Structure 1
Amino acid sequence: MPSYAELKARSDAPAGSAWGIFGADDQIGTVNLLTEEIAVQAATLVRKGTSFGLDYDLNAFTPPVSPYRKALVHCEVCRLDGQVHDDYVNDFFPQAGSHIDGLRHHKHSVHGFYNNVDDYLVGSGTPDLGVQHIGRRGMVGRGVLVDVARYRQLIGRPIDLMQGDPITLTDLQGALKSQGVTLRAGDMLLLHTGWAEHFVALNIETQQHLIKERTFCGLAQSEEMLAWLWDNHFSVVASDTVAVEVMPTVPTSPFDRNVRGMMHPDLIALLGICLGEMWKLDELAKDCATDQVYECMVVSKPITLVGGVGSPCNAIAIK
């Protein structure tokens, strides 16, 4: 695997891109790192059999954090003689709750979609870059919880969950050091900030205020952060925050070519990194703090919606 510095020096593809690294026709990006060997190694991490669901209820984020999404409406439909029931769901937005972003979620303003997939191939029902490619194989690997919330509390800088509080690379490295965790290629990085747990407990008026202001904690945007995420070769980068990144973006963000200075286009369209957002990490974090074991087996099964932009994460951690 090339380093980020080597990717920046490419001349055969956009600088800073991983296009072609996993093959000219690749559709799943860093999920390729979740090999059979990685799955076997992850299975050895199951020691006590405790499991933790990593997704919130489908309607937990009501109103939806994104103003472009709608709240799920669950209509139970009676069938036959009234004793048999089916489910019927309206306004189901797969990315309205705990989810993963597929590789068609963002294109780069200059270079387009991941792996140079043409725009005309990315449409409703077309297979290119659809989330079904990940769903068909599933994701199994070693999850590493980075408890940024507890670390920031420990050093006297608790995360302000009501503001766009940036989490720096120093914060991440400090948390990992305090936990005594060594990262491995293919790890599924789980960033715990406490934001989602905090948000769902707020009254609706406060929730609506945060949604309107768009102030959400997350990773600070920088070239160093992007390089660190790539150079550690994570298969998945998931958090309990809205966008993994801080919103609004930091004033020093170098990604001015992107939407509002976000790293998303570089992460998804250039590097093919699988992002997870609004995952439920509070119970897992409490258990990790108790037994001081921050690694676990993680299994995620995205839906096989052909051409899907994203999917509920359907994830579980097993220790």
Structure 2
Amino acid sequence: MADQKSNASQRLTQIKDFLTMNKTATTIPWDPDSTKFPTRKELPDIPGAPPEAAWVWGDNDYIGRLNLLTPTRVAAAAKEIKSGEIVPVNLPLDVPNQPAFGREIFKHEIKVLAENVAYDDLYTMNTQSGTQWDGFRHFAHIPTGTFYNGTKGSDILGPAANQKCSIHHWAEHGIAGRGILLDYRGYAHKKGINYDPYDYYPISWEELYQCGKDQGVDIRPAAQGGDIKIGDMLFIRSGWKETYDSKSPEDRAKAALRHGSGLDGEDGQRYAGLSQEQKILDWLHDSYFATVAGDAPAFEAWPTHENYHLHEYILALWGMPLGEMLDLEKLAKTCREKNRWFFFFSSSPANCPAGVSSHVNGQAVF
């Protein structure tokens, strides 16, 4: 009986697709070139996966929603290039000078090969001390201790370690497509909304919707009548870099060294970011962003006041690359001057086999 219902449902979907010119993703692995995907509430149950897991691109998939960056979508995104201006989004490697969450300070040495003739660089760094992509090895679904697509800690370290969810898979695929900036900090200044990016402040879906409206953008997915297309890359400016620049070196270090990670029940590290509310989860999922990123150390409001983190959904359950501490100051200025909030964006993650994460090495092109 269940098979009959399933077959009938698929047949109905095929008829609807024929009438609407859609191509609905139904059978796992999903076709990345589909034009219609299930909402968060419509996700299929996957045997052996945690609830709400979208491990839908194949058993050996380690790029997640980067699958949505198909040649067709990348070519379409290239039409956003009109004036040719380039806006990099990378902080200097030594910014912040004192990283948050107890991460190591960046160290740079010059190695002399031949005096006055040839030199090398030597870097000592934590890839997540500055502008970063959180890779799929970075944060697990906590209740099950499972990383994206069934990867476990034993796949990352130990005698059975392998390259599941390694960052090099992203590098081999490449990251390029259409980006959209929501300048929430600029909107907040305009509306007289005062908050400290170095303190807990959850940005709600309604606030982001109003921010988008102020920019002339409907942030709902196209399937709901909005302007967000499948495979778009989301950038949210919360004002962390603006505030960092206004602080003295001593105050920057003091804020970065506040005790408690937020993962251990202590909340010394506190930052503005996206709310963990259900409407945010629905929006992030149903928009089918290829990637999401912000200018703050945690992207989501930190520490979470729920019994889950956005990191768990974004990275472990949905396989969506998550960027943090991008320098969005010049990007916001350029977007506002041009009154253009969409642009072409490209990023080159490190091709590091077995790597956890990477600097973004990204730029917007107008």
TM-score, L = length of structure 2: 0.80
Alignment of 1:1-319 (within 5 A): 1-7=37-43, 10=45, 12=47, 13-19=49-55, 21-67=56-102, 69-90=103-124, 92-111=125-144, 112-123=146-157, 126-181=162-217, 182-211=227-256, 212=258, 213-250=268-305, 253=306, 256=307, 261-319=308-366
Q: State whether residues 101 and 269 of structure 2, in contact with CA within 8 Å, keep that contact through their aligned partners in structure 1.
A: no
Distance 1:160 1:119, change over 3 A: closer
How far apart, CA to CA, are the structure 1 residues paired with 2:241 and 2:113? 37
How far apart, CA to CA, are the structure 2 residues paired with 1:15 and 1:106? 17
Residue 247 of structure 1 aligns to a residue whose secondary structure is coil
Q: State whether residues 98 and 277 of structure 1, in contact with CA within 8 Å, keep that contact through their aligned partners in structure 2.
A: yes
Residue 23 of structure 1 and its aligned partner are, at CA, apart by: 1.3
Q: State whether residues 153 and 159 of structure 1, in contact with CA within 8 Å, keep that contact through their aligned partners in structure 2.
A: no
Residue 44 of structure 1 aligns to a residue whose secondary structure is helix
How far apart, CA to CA, are the structure 2 residues paired with 1:171 and 1:295? 19
**Partner amino acid, structure 2, of 1:32:** N
Gapped regions of structure 2 (runs ≥ 5): 1-36, 218-226, 259-267
How far apart, CA to CA, are the structure 1 residues paired with 2:64 and 2:154? 20
Residue 81 of structure 1 and its aligned partner are, at CA, apart by: 4.6
Structure number with the bigger relative contact order (C-alpha 8 A, sep ≥ 6) is 1
TM-score, L = length of structure 1: 0.92
Number of aligned residue pairs: 307
Counting aligned pairs with the same residue, the percent is 31
Gapped regions of structure 1 (runs ≥ 5): none
How far apart, CA to CA, are the structure 2 residues paired with 1:208 and 1:118? 34
Deviations 1:154-181 (A, max 9, x none): 2221332232111111111111122122
Q: State whether residues 140 and 312 of structure 2, in contact with CA within 8 Å, keep that contact through their aligned partners in structure 1.
A: yes
The runs of at least 4 aligned residues of structure 1 exceeding 3 Å deviation read none
User: CA RMSD, aligned part only?
Assistant: 1.6
How far apart, CA to CA, are the structure 1 residues paired with 2:50 and 2:80? 38
